[in-house]
Amino acid sequence: MANRKVKPPRAFERNANLTFGLMRYIFAHPQIVRRLPEKFELVILPDDDPELTAYNLKLLQKHGSEGQPIVFVRMSSSSAVDFEQARPEVYAPVAA
């Protein structure tokens, strides 16, 4: 695979689409919300889009989490994905 970098406007669009898909999934499965901290930073790591994953991790490294817990979500970036079959994996921080 070519070593391409995601440009910010395109990354914003792709992240917005992923966030929208994730929110639809969470609304359909509200029990997920109980596992999440009250305030947190969300980082989506699309399994099938390594360039966007790298971009999102660089954003996290550059801007940090501002002292809030970080919730990572691994999911497919395909707009045609059926989240009931390919469920997003939500990694919430464990309470100490």
Instruction: Determine the Cα–Cα distance for residues 1 and 8; give it in Å rounded to an integer.
Output: 20
**pTM recorded for the entire structure:** 0.80
Instruction: Determine the Cα–Cα distance for residues 51 and 49; give it in Å rounded to an integer.
Output: 6
Tokens read off for 37: 């901290």
Instruction: For domain 8-91, give its CATH number from 1.10.3470, 3.40.1350, 3.30.930, 2.60.40.
Output: 3.40.1350
Average pLDDT over residues 58-80: 85
* pLDDT at residue 57 is higher than 80: yes
Burial class (CB in 10 A: 0-12, 13-18, 19+), 44: buried
Mean pLDDT in the chain?
Answer: 85
* pLDDT at residue 70 is higher than 80: yes
Taking each helix axis from N to C terminus, what angle separates 8-28 and 50-63, rounded to the nearest 10 degrees?
90
pLDDT bracket for residue 94 (50, 70, 90): low
Edge-first strand listing for the sheet containing 70-75: 41-46, 70-75, 89-91
Question: How many Cα atoms sit within 13 Å of 51 on the Cβ side?
Answer: 12
Average pLDDT over residues 74-81: 79
